[in-house]
Amino acid sequence: MHLKILMILFLMANIARGAESISSEPAISKKGFFSAEKWGANYFNYMNGPTLSENSGEYSINHYLNLKHKFSKDFSLSAVLRSDQKVGKVANDTEQFSQGVSYFVVGPPEFYNNKKGLKVYSQLRYYAPLSESSKRKDISGKISSRIYAISSLGNFDLTYLFIPTVTLNRKSEDGQEEFSHGHWFQVSFKATEKLAIDLAAYPSWSYYKNESSEFNDILVYPGISYSITNKLSLSAYLEIVALKSESKTTLLGSSLSYVIF
C-alpha cells in the first residue's frame, strides 16, 4: 500500500511538472492548435511468431497507431490505439481482429540532460480498460510511469527503464493485482550506421491484495535492429524465459516502426 501511495504521488508530481512547463516554456510555434508542426503520428507493431518448442501455425500481431500533439518544446500528449490480429491457422469461429489495450501518454520535460549524453526523462501513461481481458478483470484501467535513463559509450547505447504500474480495481477482493514494477536493461551495439545488435533483460514483480508479492521472471531479449530509412525500421528478437522455463517457451518475434509525419 505504501508503494501504491508513493507511486500516485510521483505521478501527480509528473503532471504538475508538465503543466508548469506549458506556462514557463515557450511554445514551439505561435501557430494554432492544428498547425502541422505541432502534430506527429507513427505506426508500429509487434509480430509474435512461433515458439521454438512447438509451432501451432497460429501467430498474432499487435498493431499500434500513435497520434501525438506537442503543446510546447518539452510537453506533449499522445493517444495510442491498439488492435490485435490473429494470423496463420485461425479457427473459423475466431475473430481475426480484437480491441487491444489502448492508452494515453503524457510527456513532461526531461529531468536531466548533460553534454556527455546522459539523459533522464519520464512518461505518464493511462491504459484504458477496453480489451476483453481488462473487462473480465473488472478494472478501471491502469496508471503507469516510465522513467528512462539513456547514455552512450562509444558504439554502445545503454538504456535503463523503470516501469511502476498501479491497477485501478473497481472492486476490493483478495488476490487481485494492485501494483507491479519492472526494470528494463538494454545494451545496443551500433555495428554500422543502420544496424544495431541488441541485448535486453526484463525482471518484474507483482503485488496482490492480502497476498505475498510475486517475482514474475526475467525475460531476456537478444535481437537486431535495422533502420531502412530515417522513418522506417525493423527489428527481430527472441523472447527467452530465464528462470521459469517450464511456464513458457522461447518465442520468436519482430517489430516494425514507421513515422507517418
How is 171-194 classified by DSSP, letter by letter?
S--TT-EEEEEEEEEEEEEE-SSS
Residue 154 region, left (φ>0) first, then alpha (ψ -120 to 50), else beta?
left
| Residue 27 neighbours by CB under 8 Å, 6+ apart | 71, 72, 73
Question: In CATH terms, is domain 2-259 a member of 1.10.10.10?
Answer: no
| pLDDT tens per residue across all 261 residues of the chain | 544 444 444 444 444 444 444 334 444 455 678 888 899 999 999 999 877 666 666 789 999 999 999 998 889 999 999 999 988 776 776 778 999 999 999 998 888 998 778 999 999 999 999 888 888 888 999 999 999 999 999 999 999 999 999 999 998 999 999 999 999 999 999 999 999 999 999 999 999 999 989 999 999 999 999 999 999 999 999 999 988 766 557 889 999 999 999
Among 81, 78, 127, residue whose Cα is nearest residue 106: 78
Q: How do residues 87-104 score in pLDDT, each as one tens digit?
A: 877 677 677 899 999 999
pTM (predicted TM-score): 0.83
Distance of alpha carbon 13 from alpha carbon 172, whole angstroms = 27
Domain locations in the chain as residue ranges = 2-259
Question: 169, 178 in Cβ contact below 8 A?
Answer: yes
DSSP-derived letter for residue 249 is -
DSSP-derived letter for residue 26 is P
Rg of the chain over Cα atoms, rounded to whole angstroms, equals 20
Question: 31, 38 in Cβ contact below 8 A?
Answer: yes
DSSP-derived letter for residue 155 is T
Question: 110, 121 in Cβ contact below 8 A?
Answer: yes
Q: What angle do CA 224, 144, 131 make, to 5 degrees?
A: 80
Q: Name the residue with cell 489495450.
A: 101
Question: 143, 11 in Cβ contact below 8 A?
Answer: yes
Distance of alpha carbon 22 from alpha carbon 40, whole angstroms = 18
